[in-house]
Amino acid sequence: MSLLTSDARGVFVIAVTPFTDSGEVDCDSLDRVTDFYFEKGADGLTILGMMGEAPKLTQAESKAVAERVIRRAAGKPVVVGVSAPGLAAIGELGKAVMDMGAAGCMVTTPGSLKTDPQIHAYFGQVARTLGADVPIVLQDFPLATGVQISDEVLGRIIDDVPQVVMLKHEDWPGLAKITRLRRAEAEGRRRISILCGNGGVFLPEEIARGADGAMTGFGYPEMLADVVRLVTERQMDRAQDIFDAYLPLVRYEQQPGAGLAVRKYVLAKRGAIGSAALRAPGGGLAPEAITEVERLLARQEKRLKELT
């Protein structure tokens, strides 16, 4: 499997971790959903992210999930989230998954970082911990981490830590950050790949601003692939029409604490996973929520037929 580079483009779906109704990792569904993502247009996968319920897994389970997905991906790139409060755990999991054939490791900022020098120093420490040849995806997600990475600090990290080859952009509002990064590159800073998260809610605008694709999840990953492709081809109106057809479900998935349950419900309904179960603590959808999702799905199908 080839390593991640600063030229990476397309859609790297943030993969769910399927569980049985009793809370065990569902290996058969893990195979099935890996196939599903690639069949629906994913260029790569990112596993053990926040929406992959990584904090609920043991270290042994994390390694087992990574090994299974990397093997099933059959050479397609798999980025593995290795974020942890301490560097020792990052190093242990990172080495293990790179030995398995991962394309790179995704790391976000622990909430303990309070100052710009601490944030800057941290990614140098991560790079040394993982090893000189390990590509790093820097996840910039202040809404979840509480850590705000300024443009100036992000620029210094890019300058000083060459292993950072990709930004997982999840700042909000953050469109201007993409513009400023690309402007700095035009003025001589080295290029990094920018893939965007936040459930894809600003995806057309992000690609138009210069992002290279998406690194997020959604119950219909084919939408992410279609929108990225169409905007890249400068078919903005068509991209917006497709995006708008799915937007009500995208919006519904944005509910903090409920979005993953919605996503897993849709994936189970589509046959990608055997159960919509979240591992505890975490519950499924109430009957009223299921009714709302089903209504959105029916309207989505109707709108997509109108667009064909």
pLDDT, tens digit (0-9, with 9 covering 90-100), for 95-119:
999 999 999 999 999 999 999 999 9
- Whole-number Cα distances in Å, 131 to 75, 95, 134, 253, 294: 22, 8, 6, 36, 47
Give the pLDDT band of residue 50 (cuts 50, 70, 90).
confident
Predicted pLDDT at 91: 98
Residue type, 152: E
CA 206-244-294 angle, 5° bins: 125
Predicted pLDDT at 171: 95
- Report d(CA 37, CA 144) in Å as an integer: 25
Predicted pLDDT at 235: 98
User: Using an 8 Å Cβ cutoff, are 57 and 48 in contact?
Assistant: yes
The dihedral through the CA atoms of 238, 242, 243, 247 has a sign that is: positive
pLDDT tens digits, one per residue of 269-305: 999 999 999 999 988 999 999 999 999 999 999 999 9
Task: Locate 197 and state its tokens.
Answer: 């998260």
The number of beta carbons lying within 10 Å of the beta carbon of residue 176 is 11
pLDDT tens digits, one per residue of 75-94: 999 999 999 999 999 999 99
pLDDT at 173 over 80: yes
Predicted pLDDT at 65: 98
- Report d(CA 300, CA 195) in Å as an integer: 26
Q: What's the average model confidence in pLDDT over 169-175? A: 94
Predicted pLDDT at 246: 98
What percent of the chain clears pLDDT 90, i.e. is strictly above it? 95
Q: What's the average model confidence in pLDDT over 215-226? A: 98
Give the pLDDT band of residue 184 (cuts 50, 70, 90).
very high
Give the pLDDT band of residue 62 (cuts 50, 70, 90).
very high
pLDDT tens digits, one per residue of 132-169: 999 999 999 999 999 999 999 999 999 999 999 999 99
Q: What's the average model confidence in pLDDT over 254-259? A: 91
Give the pLDDT band of residue 1 (cuts 50, 70, 90).
low
The number of beta carbons lying within 10 Å of the beta carbon of residue 1 is 15
Q: Are strands 10-14 and 213-214 parallel, antiparallel or unpaired?
A: parallel
User: Using an 8 Å Cβ cutoff, are 174 and 148 in contact?
Assistant: no
- Report d(CA 69, CA 79) in Å as an integer: 10
Predicted pLDDT at 262: 98
Give the pLDDT band of residue 67 (cuts 50, 70, 90).
very high
Task: Locate 132 and state its tokens.
Answer: 């000189």
> Chain-wide mean pLDDT for the chain?
97
